[in-house]
């Protein structure tokens, strides 16, 4: 699909995945790649904080007009419309982490009626608001209603942050599969922090058919940044 929308609850890792997926598309496509940051809710994890670095890597980043002044208001740049209208672009959209943030996507609903899209929901089964299928289904339905579009797939981002081990990762698999079954949605990717794959060649030995997506961490909260 030309347009891929990435949503998810607070702390799910959706912005990290959106950035990594945009970089993946850049390596796999000759055409231009755009990353639209519609996250107007979360002040700590925002893809636009890496704008300059991503643009040096050839990815066009567009967000609110006042983003560079570190102001969070729902004033969205007209460049977003331009990027969605330019069919030469593959576009990744990072949507706000709750229904309030997802409503910003509703402004662009007509573009999703005019052409096919993917709307992937990032899930971490160890987060408090998605620790069981009932909660996860409610969260997904809330995002869909706010954004006024239907989800097309799930991204399983199983982790305990820096304490994640292969064993912990495997513990999250049953719940991810239960949520996917209850929603009737496919799991398009299972993310794994890239360093876990180094030296763990047997990590997925008994799970050869999983669509694994190596994740290179780019977003850190202020308290984890080097001084």
pLDDT at 72: 46
Which residue in this structure is represented by tokens 């069919």?
87
19 or 39, greater pLDDT: 19
CATH 3.40.640.10 fits 8-220, yes or no: no
Share of the chain above pLDDT 70, in %: 82
Q: What pLDDT, in 10s, does the model give residues 148-204?
A: 999 999 999 999 988 888 889 989 999 999 999 999 999 999 999 888 877 655 666
Phi, psi of 9 (to 5 degrees): -75, 165
Residue 18 token pair: 């959106």
Please state the domain extents for the chain. Answer: 8-220
Q: Checking DSSP bridges between strand 187-193 and strand 153-156, what pairing results, if any?
A: parallel
Edge-first strand order for the sheet with 117-123 is 59-62, 33-38, 90-95, 3-8, 117-123, 153-156, 187-193, 212-215
pLDDT at 205: 65
- Residues 138-156, mean pLDDT to the nearest whole number: 94
Q: What pLDDT, in 10s, does the model give residues 38-93?
A: 876 665 546 666 788 899 999 999 876 544 445 444 567 888 999 999 999 999 99
pLDDT at 64: 63
């Amino acid at each position: 699909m030309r347009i891929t929308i990435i949503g998810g609850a607070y702390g799910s890792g959706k912005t990290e995945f959106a950035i990594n997926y945009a970089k993946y598309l850049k390596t796999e496509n000759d055409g231009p790649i755009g990353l639209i940051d519609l996250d107007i809710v979360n002040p700590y994890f925002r893809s636009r904080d890496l704008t300059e670095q991503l643009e040096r890597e050839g990815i066009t980043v567009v967000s609110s007009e006042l983003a560079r002044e570190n102001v969070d208001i729902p004033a969205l740049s007209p460049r977003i419309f331009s990027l969605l209208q330019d069919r030469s672009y593959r576009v990744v959209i990072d949507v706000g982490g709750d229904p309030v943030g997802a409503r910003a996507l509703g402004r662009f609903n007509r573009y999703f009626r005019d052409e096919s899209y993917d709307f992937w929901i990032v899930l971490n089964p160890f987060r408090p608001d998605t620790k069981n299928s009932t909660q996860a289904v409610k969260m997904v339905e809330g995002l869909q209603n706010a954004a006024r579009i239907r989800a097309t797939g799930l991204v399983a981002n199983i982790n305990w942050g820096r304490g994640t081990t292969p064993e912990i990762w495997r513990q999250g698999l049953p719940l991810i599969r239960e949520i996917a079954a209850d929603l009737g949605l496919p799991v398009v990717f299972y993310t794994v922090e890239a360093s876990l794959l180094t030296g763990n060649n047997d990590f997925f030995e008994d799970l050869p058919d999983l669509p694994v997506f190596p994740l290179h961490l780019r977003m850190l909260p202020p308290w984890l940044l080097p001084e």
